[in-house]
């Protein structure tokens, strides 16, 4: 259970982050003109990339839910849940996970513990994939001379090992533990068993691991391509390592939301990364801001389209008056 003062801490973080970003943009108003460097074609490519990233993420989660026994849900129904949940993230911290868990519990008897398990598995795999891919790319462009590349590769490997090893260890321990039927200890063990059951079913064979990893890497590639488009428009000549590091900073800044949509937090973190890399914080702020605006527009358009389809479907099924 969240501490009652947690919401005030998140509000403080949100206010401070947004205030810092606004103050920076106000003091560097002339740098805001870099946004005009993006052409209509650039924006179109960004739209396609972000729409593709959302579709890939939706497909990955849909397949995971099928593995976990949710087989009576149509893909269109899942897309509706996914779209609204992603929009909820812009209003409530962890809104995506909360809304998705409630809807899956209500409509498909998918427990909250299982939803938490899915979220943890996806987050760990995304972190592992981003770390490993970033590390390999940095080492490749630096001819294996990048300390940051080895660091990111190590982070990725560290995040991967528990996902592969824990199911086997827990399976052996679980067989020897018989918790009481009531009490907090029994409840806790039961919840942990559900989580590790999710982990085992998602990581039990190489094909599933490869599928989830490839999906995570594809989403990362869309972010990498989008960042490259933005930086090339803003700065012209850019290095591959700057694009890779800034993309990773941006992706990691959105991975765990501590405030709604990590508003201000992502812009600040990505901006500071750009300031260190290219001595131009505005590039990072603009990259994060552009992704945020376009992502919201894509999700909003998808929600309106799905709502319209649903209304038309209901009207079509209604009996006509004689």
Q: Is position 22 within any domain?
A: no
Distance CA 140, CA 290 (A): 28
Q: Is position 322 within any domain?
A: no
User: Helix or strand or coil: residue 115?
Assistant: helix
User: How big is the chain by its Cα radius of gyration, in Å?
Assistant: 22
Report how many domains make up the chain. Answer: 1
Residue 317 Cα to chain centre, angstroms? 37
Q: Which two tokens stand for residue 45?
A: 């490519």
268: confidence class by pLDDT, cuts 50, 70, 90: very high
Q: Which two tokens stand for residue 91?
A: 């209003």
List, for residues 235-258, the tens digit of each pLDDT value: 888 899 999 999 999 999 998 888
1: confidence class by pLDDT, cuts 50, 70, 90: very low
Q: Is position 46 within any domain?
A: yes
Determine if residue 84 is left, alpha or beta; phi over 0 gives left, psi from -120 to 50 gives alpha, anything else beta.
alpha
Q: DSSP for 13-68, please give it.
A: HHHHHHHHHHHHHHHTGGGGGGGGG--HHHHHHHHHHHHHHHHHHHHHHHHHHHHT
Considering the entire predicted model, what is its pTM?
Answer: 0.88
Q: Is position 196 within any domain?
A: yes
Q: Taking the CB of residue 46, how many other CB atoms lie within 10 A of it?
A: 23
Distance CA 269, CA 256 (A): 13
List, for residues 92-115, the tens digit of each pLDDT value: 878 888 899 999 999 888 988 889
List, for residues 154-194, the tens digit of each pLDDT value: 989 888 887 777 776 766 665 555 555 666 766 677 777 77
Q: Is position 105 within any domain?
A: yes
Task: Produce one character per residue of 274-307: b if its CB has 16 or more CB atoms within 10 Å, e if not.
Answer: bbebbebbbbbbbbbbbbbebbbebbeebbeebe
Q: Is position 153 within any domain?
A: yes
Containing structural domain, residue 183: 39-85+94-317
Checking if the pLDDT of 272 tops 50, the result is: yes
Question: Dihedral of the CA atoms 102, 213, 273, 139 (nearest 10)?
Answer: 170
Distance CA 91, CA 288 (A): 17
Among 283, 255, 259, 258, residue whose Cα is nearest residue 270:
283
Among 175, 122, 153, residue whose Cα is nearest residue 248:
153
- Are 67 and 211 spatial neighbours (Cβ–Cβ below 8 Å)? no
């Amino acid at each position: 259970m969240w501490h009652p003062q947690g919401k005030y801490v998140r509000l403080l973080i949100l206010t401070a982050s947004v205030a810092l970003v606004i103050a920076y943009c106000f003091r560097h108003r002339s740098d805001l003109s870099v946004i005009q460097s993006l052409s209509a074609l650039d924006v179109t490519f960004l739209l396609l990339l972000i729409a593709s990233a959302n579709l890939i993420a939706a497909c990955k989660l849909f397949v995971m839910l099928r593995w976990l026994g949710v087989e009576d849900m149509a893909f269109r129904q899942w897309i509706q849940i996914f779209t609204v949940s992603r929009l909820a993230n812009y209003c409530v911290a962890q809104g995506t996970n909360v809304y998705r868990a409630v809807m899956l519990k209500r409509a498909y008897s998918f427990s909250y513990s299982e939803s938490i398990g899915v979220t943890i598995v996806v987050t760990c795999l995304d972190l592992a994939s981003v770390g490993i891919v970033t590390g390999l790319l940095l080492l490749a462009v630096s001819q294996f001379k990048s300390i940051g590349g080895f660091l990111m590769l190590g982070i990725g490997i560290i995040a991967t090992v528990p996902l592969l090893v824990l199911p086997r260890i827990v399976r052996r321990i679980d067989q020897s533990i018989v918790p009481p039927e009531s009490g907090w200890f029994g409840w806790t063990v039961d919840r942990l068993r559900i989580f590790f059951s999710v982990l085992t079913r998602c990581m039990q064979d190489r094909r599933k691991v490869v599928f989830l990893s490839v999906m995570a890497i594809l989403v990362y590639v869309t972010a990498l391509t989008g960042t490259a488009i933005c930086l090339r428009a803003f700065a012209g000549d850019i290095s591959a390592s700057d694009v890779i590091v800034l993309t990773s900073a941006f992706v990691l800044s959105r991975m765990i939301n501590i405030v709604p949509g990590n508003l201000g937090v992502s812009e600040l973190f990505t901006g500071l990364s750009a300031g260190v890399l290219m001595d131009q914080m505005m590039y990072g702020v603009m990259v994060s801001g552009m992704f945020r605006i376009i992502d919201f527009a894509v999700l909003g358009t998808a929600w309106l389209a799905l709502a319209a389809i649903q209304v038309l479907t209901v009207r079509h099924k209604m009996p006509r008056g004689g």
